[in-house]
Amino acid sequence: MAKQASFIKEFFKARRQVGALAPSSKFLMKKMIKPIDFSTAKCIIELGPGNGIFTKGILEQMNSDCKLFSFELNQSFYEQIKSEINDHRLTLLNRSAEDIISVIEEYGIEKVDYIVSSLPLTVIPSEIKTVILDRAKNALSDDGKYIQFQYTLNAKKLLEERFSSVKIEFTAANFPPAFIYQCSN
């Protein structure tokens, strides 16, 4: 309940950034990370972890030599995850997803295997979301995957313009129900 309350509070403080009134369900989390091959993944990037539901799910399955970089722009969510998760494989950044390329360069990462994004593309201004998606595509390895959920099909065109394959799944087991986009370079 405290998690739900923190979401509502952050939503009303910054609705164009948070984009949701409630954290995602465990069911959606499992669907979002299902395409990840944890036996081979060495670097995963998460965009918009909120209060960390996907972060925890990813860390639970990640190998010890895999790195997770999570970009959270909202200071309160960032502080919340920082106080709850202490894991040497996680680099939590209070930075925008726009910094994805500078961060992988700073950390000497050559290849990003998966990007798991909860960014609310519908409310993020057009000039910012196009920059984020272009950089996300460039950060991914040739066989990498960009996985994104949204509450509408509005992002379909934006993603199809960039990725050679975009598969869409739907789940009603979330509030609100969500579409999961699985994109390959």
Ligand X SMILES: C[S@@+](CC[C@H](N)C(=O)[O-])C[C@H]1O[C@@H](n2cnc3c(N)ncnc32)[C@H](O)[C@@H]1O
Q: With CB under 6 A as the contact rule, which of the stretches 14-22, 35-43, 104-112, 164-172 interacts with ligand X?
A: 14-22
Number of shown-chain residues binding ligand X (CB under 6 A): 23
Residue 63 C-beta: closest distance to ligand X, Å: 22
Residue 77 C-beta: closest distance to ligand X, Å: 5
Nearer to ligand X by Cβ, of 73 and 140: the residue is 73
Give the span between the Cα atoms of 31 and 170, in whole angstroms.
10
Nearer to ligand X by Cβ, of 8 and 143: the residue is 8
For the residues of the chain, what is the DSSP string, one character each?
A: -HHHHHHHHHHHH-HHHH--SSPPPHHHHHHHHTT--TTT--EEEEE--TTTHHHHHHHHH--TT-EEEEE---HHHHHHHHHH---TTEEEE-S-GGGHHHHHHHTT---EEEEEE---TTTS-HHHHHHHHHHHHHHEEEEEEEEEEESSSTTHHHHHTT-SEEEEEEESSSSS-EEEEEEE-
Q: Is 146 in the site for ligand X (CB under 6 A)?
A: no
Q: Is 113 in the site for ligand X (CB under 6 A)?
A: no
Q: Which residues contact 142 (CB under 8 A, 6 or more apart)?
A: 185
Q: Is 53 in the site for ligand X (CB under 6 A)?
A: yes
Q: Is 77 in the site for ligand X (CB under 6 A)?
A: yes
Q: Is 73 in the site for ligand X (CB under 6 A)?
A: yes
Among 74, 80, 150, 182, binds ligand X (CB under 6 A): 74
Nearer to ligand X by Cβ, of 23 and 144: the residue is 23
Q: Is 178 in the site for ligand X (CB under 6 A)?
A: no
Give the span between the Cα atoms of 35 and 31, in whole angstroms.
8
Q: Is 57 in the site for ligand X (CB under 6 A)?
A: no
Among 44, 120, 136, 150, binds ligand X (CB under 6 A): 120
What type of residue sits at position 171? T
Residues interacting with ligand X, by CB under 6 A? Answer: 17-20, 23-24, 47-50, 53-54, 71-74, 77, 96-97, 118-120, 124
